[in-house]
Amino acid sequence: MRRHLAALLLAPALLATAACGSDEGQSPNAGEADKVTVGVIPILDVAPIYLGVEKGFFEKRNIDVTLEQAEGGAAIVPAVVSGQYQFGFSNIVSLLLAHSEGLPVKMVSNGNNSTGVDGEDFAALMVSADSPIETAADLEGRTVAANTLQNIVDTAVRASVRKAGGDPTKVKFTALPFPEQPAALASGQVDAVFVVEPFQQAVLGQGGRTIASSYVDTAPNLTVASYFTSQRILSENPELVKRFTQAMQESLSYANGHPDEARAIIGSYTNIARDVVARVTLPKWPAEVNRDSVQRVADLALEDGLLKEPAKVGDLLP
Amino acid sequence: MTAVLTRVGLALGLPVVLVAVWWFASAGSTDFFFPPLRTIVEVFGPTWFGERLVDDVLPSLGRLAAGYAAALVLGVGLGVLIGSNRWVRAVTEPVLEFLRAIPPPVLVPVLMLVAGIGNGMKILVIISGCVWPILLNTVAGVRAVDGVLEDTCRTYRIRGTLRWRHLVLRSASPQIVTGARQALSVGIILMVISEMFAASSGLGFTVIQFKDGFQIPEMWSGVILLGLLGVLLSMLFRVVEHQVLSWYHGSRTAQKER
CATH of the domain at B185: 1.10.3720.10
Of A28-32, A142-146, B114-118, where does mean pLDDT reach its minimum?
A28-32
Amino acid at B251: S
DSSP A35: E
Round to whole Å and give the CA distance between A36 and B208: 29
pLDDT per position as a tens digit, A283-316: 999 988 998 999 999 999 888 888 888 888 888 8
Distance from CA of A89 to the nearest CA of B (A): 15
CA atoms within 13 A on the CB side of B143: 15
In tens, the pLDDT along B75-98 reads 999 999 998 888 888 888 888 888
What's the domain count of chain B? 1
Rounded distance between C-alpha atoms, residue A87 and residue A36, angstroms: 7
Mean pLDDT along residues B184-204: 87
Which residue in the set A94, A98, A189 is minimally distant from B116, CB to CB? A189
**What is each CA distance from B248 to B141, B168, B177, B184, B252, in whole angstroms?**
14, 14, 11, 21, 6
A210: left (phi over 0), alpha (psi -120 to 50) or beta: beta
Residue B153 lies inside a defined structural domain of this protein: yes
- Whether residue B138 lies inside any domain: the answer is yes
Calculate mean pLDDT across residues B5-30.
Answer: 86
Q: Do B118 and A189 touch (CB under 8 A)?
A: yes
Does residue A213 carry a pLDDT above 80? yes
Taking CA–CA distances from A307, the nearest residue in chain B reads: B213
> Would you say the ipTM is above 0.85?
no
| Highest CATH level, class, for A123-218 | alpha beta
Structure confidence at residue A19 (pLDDT): 39
Q: Hey, are the CB atoms on B199 and A148 less than 8 Å from each other?
A: no
Q: How many CB atoms lie within 10 A of CB B61?
A: 16
CB contact under 8 A, B196 and A78: no
- Is B43 among the domain residues? no
pLDDT of A30 above 60: no
CATH top-level class for A34-114+221-316? alpha beta
Query: What range defines the domain where residue B152 resides?
Result: 53-253
The nearest CA of chain B is from the CA of A236 a distance in Å of 19
Residue B162 domain-assigned (yes or no): yes
Average pLDDT value for chain B: 87
Query: What pLDDT score does B90 carry?
Result: 87
The answer to the question of residue B32 being in a domain is: no
Q: Give the nearest partner residue to B213 out of A5, A97, A176, using CB atoms.
A: A97
Three-state SS letters, A205-262: HCCCEEEECHHHHHCCCCEEEEEEEEHHHHHHCHHHHHHHHHHHHHHHHHHHHCHHHH
Average pLDDT over residues A259-279: 88
Question: How distant is the alpha carbon of residue B243 from its chain centre?
Answer: 18
Chain B residue with the nearest C-alpha to that of A189: B116
Domain with CATH 3.40.190.10 in chain A: 34-114+221-316, 123-218
Output phi, psi for A30, to 5 deg: -65, 140
CB B183 within 8 A of CB B71: yes
Q: What's the confidence (pLDDT) of residue A21?
A: 39
Whether A11 contacts chain B with CB within 8 A? yes
Closest in A5, A74, A174 to B117, CB measured: A174
Helix (H), strand (E) at residue A143: strand A143-146
Query: Which of B23, B30, B117 is the best residue to mutate to test the A interface, defined by the most A CB atoms within 10 Å of its own CB?
Result: B117
Per CB-CB distance under 8 Å, the chain A contacts of B33 are: 78, 82
C-alpha to C-alpha distances, B177 to A140, B171, B174, B237, B243, nearest whole angstrom: 47, 11, 5, 9, 11
Selected residue with higher pLDDT from A156 and A10: A156
d(Cα A243, Cα A238) in Å, to the nearest integer?
A: 9
Contact between A122 and A280 under an 8 Å Cβ cutoff? The reply is: yes
Count CA atoms closer than 13 A to B108's CA, side-chain side: 23
> Per the domain annotation, does B166 fall within a domain?
yes
By the 8 A CB rule, do A99 and A105 touch? yes
Read off the pLDDT band of B47 (50, 70, 90): confident
Band of residue B48 on the pLDDT scale cut at 50, 70, 90: confident
By C-alpha distance, the chain B residue nearest A187 is B116
State how far residue B7 is from chain A, nearest Cα, in angstroms: 26
